[in-house]
Structure 1
Amino acid sequence: MATTTEKFQPPTVPRDSEGFVKSFNLSSYDCPEADDGCAFFDQYGFVVIANVFTSKQCAETISDIWNVFESFAEQSTRNDENLWDAQRWRRTGHEQVGLLGNASLWTRQIILNRQTPALHTAFATVLGTRKLLTNHDRYALFRPAQMHSERGTVTNLHLDMNPWIYLQDTDNSYQISVLSRLSYKRDNDWITENNEPGVKKYFLFVGIT
């Protein structure tokens, strides 16, 4: 039987007059734009909520990211791109994937951001429930790479959990056994909380140790 191979054609995503992906402003869980935002998410698999953080919160977060970066680099670098070399960048965490540090971060700004009511509104609206659980992770910072190919990060689809293996455990017994052993005496336990229930099980499944 003859078969044909069709080339994948990505969908054409609606954009605004400036060329950015169409975004939505949610003033409440049941505001008029909520249904439109959810419909967009159902169709394209993602949605942009534009009014989660204020301009002031964004500026404070950017400053905090640089504060964390410079604490690892041990010098002021944010205003001098000549200092954004690979040697300094490696001091800050995972250069190839842009992650800052090797464990969860607990700055004041990170804590404030995660408690922003508009952030809860955005996720609760799209996911259809106000009862949310979230992991606690870290920042990511990438250098402009268009004119510097050596700055390019690894090409990958980053999933902290393998969804197919994860969902096979219908009673969550494996996940519960991993999470119940965490003492949270180390920052890395928060990373384990995020990754381990799905990732380790996947590695065991494919024979990676």
Structure 2
Amino acid sequence: MKRRTPPDSPGLFAELPLMPDFSFELRAQLRGTWPVAGTDEAGRGPLAGPVVAAAVVFEPDRIPAGLNDSKKLTLRQREALYEEILSMGEVAIASSSPRSIDRIDIRKASLDAMRRAVAGLPVAVRHVLADGRDVPPGLACSGDAVVKGDARSVSIAAASIIAKVMRDRMMARAGVVYPAYGFEIHAGYGTERHRSAIAVHGPCPLHRMSFGSLKLFA
């Protein structure tokens, strides 16, 4: 059964500048559910490429400075924090392929990648903080869905950075393998250049055939 939690404190965060902190993790620690992992994904919206998820565990005294929602950071900031997160935290990454996305839909594929990222951590976590409105099904521990979690929890923010950087690197490599589409520039999102390339060359194996106009090629 799908587990979903309602937004916590509806409307409270609408007027506040959101910066992630360690409060969600500390509350779980006080309840005795430790270690705590944050998990997030990158790549739900593109027309091509995998959706990539990451899970991160921090100790309270080993947290990189400057963590935030990956979308609010520059490329240079993300790359620098990526290395710091890997050196200071426990990290795991998982992905769902375009074929998996087409088979089970993007939401389920994203949640499954998050579940597998948590399962791949080198430590057995007892609680998971998942960005968004859904707790990934099949976790081996308890979990909470945290709306706008990548701007509120440092563990989720770190997972969003890891997932974003890894996916961008994967799509840069895809641009070498399939040079006609410009994946290294737009990472598979539906830009005008990308749509024009699809119109000329048709889809490649990295395209999500269940998405939008790509259904016409299926």
Q: What's the TM-score bracket when you normalise by the shorter of the two chains?
A: under 0.3
Given the two structures, how large is their TM-score scaled by the length of structure 2? Answer: 0.24
Relative to the length of structure 1, the TM-score reads 0.25
- Larger fraction in strand: 2
